């Protein structure tokens, strides 16, 4: 069959195959709507925490009030540290702060007061909210005490404020302005979702062709099949980058041309490797069975959720053989940070090389099978 005839036949066959359409088109769209949903609030607020007050002074009660007013944590009082530990073990709280006896006495004698904070390190986001919430409460009270001490020495209110805070820290979040978890994780995971659904969908289709002994075609026919899948993949990727991320109010860097270049390279690379997997597995369902469990390792290897420097040296090299690794790095820089194409050129080159190698292998394997 000619290039265009194969293209039309493949597109028609794909649209008739409910399993392939579900994976290549419908599943990514469903993921796009429902995956960000649990993270809609972006930030973790009102994390349950506790304060053990052994001092029972007006100072310790002031710390409690400031902690209770912090939106990051929801504070309750517990009678002892043992009770706080038991509540932490039972999952009733995610952290606690101990205000020791004699805290106010130490402050009045110009000694450093010490408070202890414990958090559940098993859940990083919850632990961060607890630690930050208590730190902000103690820091605010400490600044107030310092201002009163400087005022007692004869300083004006403005001088006391400057003396208490000689260095002013102004923080500004770039790109992820809301500092939310969804804005951080969803745009990166989206590239992995697109990869896995497309790889499995193409492998299913090619596996069916192998079972029907129709996979042995000329290079021009393979090009037609690749283009047919690419057209569907480009539409889905355009849905993600063109509408979904904007609708979810994720950060947009504005390098639209660079993002389009990424999409143009990413889709055919995934299609050719999906076809190779289909030829390798030879059985339609095997692609789903094998590839379904590879998503999480691929995400960790991408260097996004876990620093790549923390990976063994062997994995640091192997991870670049996975298209999503370079695609995630390029996508975040182009679509969220507005980086230029020259900045992400190494990542785009990596995707292009994977696609080129996969295309040559596909033609060689297809030709060998045909012979």
User: How would you write the pLDDT of the chain (371 residues) with one tens digit per residue?
Assistant: 678 898 999 999 999 988 899 999 999 999 888 887 777 676 778 899 999 999 889 888 998 999 999 989 999 999 999 999 999 998 899 999 999 898 888 777 777 778 889 888 877 778 888 988 998 888 888 777 666 666 766 777 666 665 656 566 666 777 776 667 777 788 888 999 999 999 999 999 998 888 888 877 888 889 999 999 999 999 999 998 888 888 877 767 678 898 999 999 999 999 999 999 999 988 887 877 777 778 888 888 888 777 777 888 888 888 999 999 999 999 888 888 888 899 999 999 999 999 999 999 999 887 644 44
Same domain, 202 and 256: yes
Rounded to the nearest 10 degrees, how much is the dihedral formed by the CA atoms of 63, 65, 70, 74? 110
Asked whether residue 217 is assigned to any structural domain, the reply reads: yes
Same domain, 254 and 121: no
Q: What was the pLDDT predicted at 371? A: 42
Same domain, 66 and 107: yes
Asked whether residue 186 is assigned to any structural domain, the reply reads: yes
Helices (H) and strands (E) in the chain, counts: 17, 4
CB atoms within 10 A of CB 314: 8
Which stretches of the chain are assigned E, i.e. beta strand? 47-53, 73-78, 95-99, 116-119
Same domain, 59 and 185: no
In the listed set 139, 164, 189, which residue is the last one of a domain according to the structure?
A: 164
Same domain, 159 and 13: no
Q: Are 322 and 339 in contact (CB under 8 A)?
A: no
Domain count, the chain: 2
Same domain, 192 and 333: yes
In the listed set 107, 134, 164, which residue is the last one of a domain according to the structure?
A: 164
Same domain, 118 and 209: no
By residue range, what is the domain housing residue 150? 47-164
Is the pTM higher than 0.85? no
> First and final CA of the chain: distance in angstroms?
16
Q: What was the pLDDT predicted at 253? A: 66
Asked whether residue 172 is assigned to any structural domain, the reply reads: no
In the listed set 135, 164, 193, which residue is the last one of a domain according to the structure?
A: 164
The whole-angstrom separation of Cα 77 and Cα 84 is 9
Residue 61 Cα distances to 130, 135, 261, angstroms: 18, 16, 59
The whole-angstrom separation of Cα 242 and Cα 94 is 39
Same domain, 33 and 66: no
Same domain, 213 and 148: no
Same domain, 218 and 82: no
Q: 78: which residues sit within 8 A by CB, 6+ positions away?
A: 50, 51, 52, 84, 87, 96
Q: Are 303 and 311 in contact (CB under 8 A)?
A: yes
Question: Tokens 């490797």 correspond to what residue?
Answer: 273
CA-based angle 346:352:357, to the nearest 5?
Answer: 125
The whole-angstrom separation of Cα 85 and Cα 193 is 40
Q: What was the pLDDT predicted at 185? A: 80
DSSP notation for 328-361 = HHHHIIIIIT---HHHHHHHHHHHHHHHHHHHHH
Same domain, 12 and 141: no
Asked whether residue 224 is assigned to any structural domain, the reply reads: yes
């Amino acid at each position: 069959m000619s290039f265009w005839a194969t293209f039309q036949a493949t597109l028609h066959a794909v649209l008739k195959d409910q399993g392939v359409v579900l994976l290549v088109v419908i599943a990514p769209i469903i993921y796009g709507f429902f995956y960000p949903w649990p993270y809609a609030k972006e930030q973790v607020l009102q994390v349950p925490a506790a304060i053990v007050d052994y001092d029972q002074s007006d100072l310790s009660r002031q710390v409690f009030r400031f902690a209770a007013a912090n939106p990051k944590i929801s504070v309750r009082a517990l009678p002892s540290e043992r009770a706080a530990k038991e509540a932490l073990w039972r999952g009733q709280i995610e952290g606690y702060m101990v205000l020791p006896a004699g805290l106010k006495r130490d402050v009045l004698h110009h000694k450093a007061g010490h408070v202890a904070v414990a958090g559940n390190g098993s859940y990083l986001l919850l632990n961060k909210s607890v630690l930050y919430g208590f730190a902000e409460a103690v820091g605010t009270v400490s600044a107030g005490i310092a201002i009163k001490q400087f005022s007692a020495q004869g300083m004006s209110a403005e001088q006391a404020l400057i003396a208490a805070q000689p260095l002013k820290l102004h923080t500004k979040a770039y790109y992820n302005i809301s500092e939310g978890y969804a804005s951080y994780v969803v745009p990166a995971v989206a590239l992995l979702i697109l990869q896995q659904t497309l790889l499995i969908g193409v492998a299913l289709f090619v596996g069916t062709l192998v079972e029907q002994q129709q996979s042995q075609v000329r290079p021009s026919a393979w090009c037609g099949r690749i283009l047919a899948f690419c057209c569907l993949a480009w539409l889905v990727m355009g849905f993600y980058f063109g509408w979904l991320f904007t609708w979810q109010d994720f950060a947009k860097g504005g390098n639209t041309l660079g993002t389009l270049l990424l999409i143009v390279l990413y889709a055919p690379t995934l299609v050719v490797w999906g076809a190779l997997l289909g030829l390798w597995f030879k059985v339609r369902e095997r692609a789903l069975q094998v590839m379904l469990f590879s998503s999480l390792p691929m995400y960790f290897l991408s260097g996004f959720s876990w620093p790549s420097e923390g990976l063994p040296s062997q994995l640091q090299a192997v991870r670049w053989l996975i298209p999503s690794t370079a695609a995630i790095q390029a996508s975040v820089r182009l679509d969220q940070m507005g980086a230029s194409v020259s900045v992400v050129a190494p990542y785009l080159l990596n995707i292009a090389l994977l696609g080129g190698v996969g295309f040559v292998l596909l033609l060689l394997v297809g030709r060998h099978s045909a012979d």
